[in-house]
Amino acid sequence: MPFQTELQDLVKQVNPELNFYSSLMNVNRDSIKPIFLYHVPKTGGLSFQTAIEWARLNLITALKLKGIDNPLPLVARTANPNELKNLNHNFFYLLSTHLPYGSHFLPKTSDFELMCIFRDPIDRISSAFSYQCMRQNIIPTQENFIKFFRNPENINRFCKQLHPNAINEEVEDSKAVIKNLDENFSTVVTLDTLHDAIEYYLSLFNLPNVLQKERTEH
């Protein structure tokens, strides 16, 4: 897509903090399932969710200007299993959660495409540490980072959240996680391919282009 690449480059020249996500028309919209994003903290999940949500809001605005007031699928996130169990709405583009694998079976409708985003573990935990320091007004010292790094809650987050039996117990088995990803997830991306993933799903859902400020905290 040379034109889209040139446009993205132009946007970066104007403002390096902006990202342009292009969307192409999808002619098979009826065959698309909603996304259930297993969002491991500090992997870029919020950037993905925000892009889809902005596109949805932009489309709602454009349709209203044409006098069209049709409801669109929702974009939502939750950290509460009871909220998932009690969802009465089955019309989604995206559901995102930090909850463990298996939570996508909790809603009354469980026909989702599963997705997750991976990030280099050192980069991820460094980002998580910086975020905690900011939220708690803590000075980011080497000693504080070592304590954070060694906290059992911060170790092997990918394995603990994405293990096939994660909803029942904490298990640190990377081979089982890889097998689960291979067999049950439709989309597995990294930060390096997140831009492409956003454009893919904007196109898939027939959502408009998005111009979005780049997030420094994921």
Query: For residue 152, what is the domain's CATH number?
Result: 3.40.50
- Residue 91's H or E segment, with its range, is none
Terminal Cα-to-Cα distance of the chain (whole angstroms): 27
Q: Quick: pLDDT tens for 36-67.
A: 999 999 999 999 999 999 999 999 999 999 99
Burial class (CB in 10 A: 0-12, 13-18, 19+), 107: buried
Q: Are the C-beta atoms of 208 and 59 separated by less than 8 Å?
A: yes
197 domain-assigned: yes
Q: Identify the three-state secondary structure at position 60.
A: helix
pLDDT under 70 in the chain at which residues?
A: 1-8, 11-12, 26-31, 88-90, 110, 215-218
17 domain-assigned: yes
Q: Quick: pLDDT tens for 117-136.
A: 999 999 999 999 999 999 99
Burial class (CB in 10 A: 0-12, 13-18, 19+), 3: exposed
> What is the C-alpha separation between 47 and 218, in angstroms, rounded?
7
pTM (two decimals): 0.89
150 domain-assigned: yes
> What is the C-alpha separation between 6 and 84, in angstroms, rounded?
41
pLDDT at 145: 94
142 domain-assigned: yes
Short-list 137, 133, 113, CA closest to 125: 133
Q: Which residue range forms the structural domain that includes residue 147?
A: 2-213
**pLDDT above 70 as % of the chain:** 88
218 domain-assigned: no
Please count the structural domains in the chain: 1
Q: Quick: pLDDT tens for 68-80.
A: 988 899 999 999 9
Q: How far is CA 80 from CA 49, 61, 106, 203, in A?
A: 18, 30, 11, 30
> What is the C-alpha separation between 131 and 215, in angstroms, rounded?
13
Q: DSSP string covering 2-16, please?
A: HHHHHHHHHHHHH-T
